[in-house]
Amino acid sequence: MARQVKRAFRYRFYPTDEQAAELSRTFGCARLVYNRALEERTRAWYSEQRRLSYVETSAMLTAWKRTEELAFLGEVSSVPLQQALRHLQTAFTNFFARRAAYPRFKSRKKSRASAEYTRSAFAWRDGLLTLAKMPEPLAIVWSRPLPESAAPSTVTVSRDAAGRWFVSLLCEDTITRLTPVETAVGVDAGVTSLVALSAGEKVANPRHERRDSGRLAKAQKDLARKAKGSKNGEKAKARIADRRRDFLHKLPTRLVHENQVVVIEDLNVAGMVRNHSLARAISDASWRELRTMLEYKADWYGRELVVIDRWFPSSKLCSECGTVAEKMPLNVREWECGCGARHDRDVNAARNIVAAGLAVTACGADVRPKRRKPSGQTATKQEPQPVTAGIPRL
């Protein structure tokens, strides 16, 4: 069975000097509009306890263009500026729904330089893309074909820290659902390895892979020699990021193709990176990005992604007898249960994760552990001994 999905296709392009100048102005104006609107919304909330809407900030933008100070905003396409306001509205919606932190101001140096164009601000004819305010189409390198009869609904242009230009075209695409299979896999995110799978396999982070270690070590060594903030340094970072992104795309694709059910933990990545001794390794592993890819790829191909509670004691639970160990420090990578079973910490966790996930899909079992409040009352998240009732053994 096939289904229609919105899918972004990203390509590199090489702008002319005039196009680069126009896009750079647009990036700057979009960032300024976003920051001005964020400032106004913050002021309205703290001084008047009032929430500004997108419509109100859009009216502000119109007024800004009429001032002498900000008249230059009228020199670029209005669509990317309106889109910046829409993105800010989404950020506030997520904040008030407790899905995200309070929106932050965009930095010229640290924030991604980008601009989003909707259909009214670009022309797409015979495979040629021409943006508003530009007399000629972009010189795009078509590294892969677009879907047949593709008609982009949104175009996002960006420039990375290394100075490379990219264009992302959002199109309708037809995805064929995969044939159902009987297999399921538990995925335990790790630090020493990127993930461990319930079948016993450990998937190393690209920086640990033996076949890439030489090239990656050289890239890191070259990066260390670059002057901080230099173009050469940024290019070295971009090469490492490209390798990581490519690897991250391949792993979820493989897991989704091989398994009907993929089970993961609901990790609190934002909280974990506050641990300064682990922050760099956790960020490098890109767990959040890995989960996002698993979510949309599973949805595309008709697979099921199950997310179990972050308090489930997957590492401390013996996958053979169900006993929960009292302590399991991070430096313990192998341990032996009282029943005689010897476990690799990560593989054992992955096996417990898939068992818990299958229990949820089979009967809706609640595998969330419970913990005690300081007052002695029972909270939702407790650690029962054992917590394996109703969980099938694999």
CA 106 to chain centroid: 19
Q: Which of 17, 188, 246, 320 is catalytic?
A: 188
- Using CA atoms, how far apart are residues 96 and 255, in angstroms rounded to an integer? 34
In the predicted model, what is the mean pLDDT of residues 222-238? 64
- Of residues 318 and 230, more confidently modeled: 318
* pLDDT value for 290: 86
- Asked if the peptide bond before residue 386 counts as cis, ω within 30 degrees of 0, the response is yes
Q: Which of 126, 258, 265, 309 is catalytic?
A: 265
Q: What is the pLDDT of residues 48-57, one digit of tens each?
A: 889 999 999 9
- Using CA atoms, how far apart are residues 149 and 124, in angstroms rounded to an integer? 11
Beta pairing, strands 261-265 & 304-308: parallel
In 10 A of CB 209, how many CB atoms? 14
- Using CA atoms, how far apart are residues 239 and 56, in angstroms rounded to an integer? 42
Q: What is the pLDDT of residues 204-227, one digit of tens each?
A: 776 544 444 455 556 666 666 665
242 tagged catalytic: no
* pLDDT value for 331: 84
Question: In the predicted model, is pLDDT for residue 373 greater than 50?
Answer: no
Question: In the predicted model, is pLDDT for residue 294 greater than 80?
Answer: yes
* pLDDT value for 371: 38
Question: In the predicted model, is pLDDT for residue 31 greater than 80?
Answer: yes
Q: What is the pLDDT of residues 264-281, one digit of tens each?
A: 988 765 555 455 555 455
266 tagged catalytic: no
CA 361 to chain centroid: 25
Question: In the predicted model, is pLDDT for residue 285 greater than 50?
Answer: yes
* pLDDT value for 1: 76
* pLDDT value for 258: 96
- Token pair 């799978």 is found at 197
> Which amino acid appears at position 305 of this protein?
L
Three-state DSSP class for residue 315: coil
In the predicted model, what is the mean pLDDT of residues 100-109? 91
Which of 300, 304, 306 is CA-nearest to residue 1? 300
- Helices and strands (DSSP H and E) totals, the chain: 9, 16
> Which amino acid appears at position 306 of this protein?
V
In the predicted model, what is the mean pLDDT of residues 35-49? 94
- Using CA atoms, how far apart are residues 79 and 121, in angstroms rounded to an integer? 6
- Token pair 């302590």 is found at 327
Burial letters 96-128, b for 16+ CB under 10 A, else e: eeeeeeebeebeeeeeebbbbbbeebbebeeee
Structure token digits, residue 143: 């590294």
Bridge partners, residue 117, by sequence: 155
346 tagged catalytic: yes
Structure token digits, residue 250: 């391949």
